[in-house]
Amino acid sequence: MANRIIVTGGAGFIGSALVRHIIGSTADQVCVVDKLTYAGNLESLAAVSSSDRFRFEQCDICDKEALDRIFADFLPTHVMHLAAESHVDRSIDAPGEFIQTNIIGTYTLLESARKYFSSLDEAAKAAFRFHHISTDEVYGDLVNDDDFFRETTAYAPSSPYSASKAASDHLVRAWKRTFQLPTLVTNCSNNYGPYHFPEKLIPLMILHALDGRELPVYGQGLQIRDWLYVEDHARALYLVATRGKPGETYNIGGHNEKKNIEVVKTICSLLDELSPRADGRSYAEQIVFVSDRPGHDMRYAIDADKIARELNWKPQETFESGIRKTVLWYLEHKNKWCARVLSGEYRMERLGKGGK
């Protein structure tokens, strides 16, 4: 029997990749719930929006009345919760928005899910899952070069963003313990790939480079991140939602630790090859170092052995293959998707607003 999956934040970067995977690779139905803030873009769902298994609801996850209506109408078997404010720099400038969406929004969604869950018969309750998608940033940073984030690693968030996500993780686990809502949590490393909003490191560097602008790197670019190709992440998320054990946490990583400066130089090298500068010089000459972000964590690294062992998942893309695909995608879409995002046009012309 096909699943009926609510995906909150489904018009965002990771959410849209997940929705494209579900519609493209399964027989399941999807209801995207998204407020359509600046990071939500229905154009990222254009490839699947005509499917009769796709539905869109513009909704703030803090609006319980709207959520209750969606649950009652769509009758989900699964909820996959990705809706969140996610940019660290923005959380430093305006932390209140992160508290509201990531904490209050998650609480509100949990309460709507709990109300709906209590109305189900025993068979439907046994099948229902609430999957909360989180980040490795809740763990803080790693001190030892040979250490990794594991599912048992203590939380030590460093930014308003990661603190708000840590709080939402705790809420989800509490609703499992107290109310027996069948929840799962995943914590992922840095995602990259097509349809990534241009404020994030990789798309920002690609587009700045092509526009002849400076490539700003925090500090000396020595911060280390584990990079996960977004389509690999989408596959992992679906596996956890449909095959994971309620109450469990699964860490999802790409096995690709890179210093930020390495990532930027790799992008420059690929652009030198694929779209050379008119003057024949390297894009790397556009790199500049800027003052570091307050509270900037130095190293993240995921131990993804549990999901590999229990759900037989591993990333298909290496960093080398994934970053080449990503650069090629941005080159192909620079004057289409990227231009509309950068101009704000995508917010003025919603595709199929209101859904089916």
Q: Supply the residues annotated as catalytic.
A: 136-137, 161
DSSP H helices in 119-229: 122-127, 160-179, 201-210
H or E stretch covering 224 = strand 224-229
Residue 178: phi and psi, rounded to 5, are -85, -45
Give the CA angle between residues 111, 106, 166 to the nearest 5°.
130
Place of tokens 């609430």: 130
**Which of the 8 DSSP states describes residue 229?**
E
Residue 225 CB neighbour total at 10 angstroms = 24
Q: Which two tokens stand for residue 109?
A: 């969604």
Sign of the dihedral through C-alpha 34, 351, 14, 139: negative
CB-count burial class (<10 Å; 0-12, 13-18, 19+) for 306: middle
Query: Cα dist. 198→119, 127, 247, 284 in Å?
Result: 42, 38, 35, 19
Strand ranges (E), 35-193: 54-58, 78-81, 129-135, 183-188, 190-192
Sign of the dihedral through C-alpha 198, 201, 203, 206: positive
What is the C-alpha to C-alpha distance for residues 130 and 109, in angstroms, rounded to an integer?
10
Provide the Cα torsion 269, 272, 275, 278; round to 10°: 150
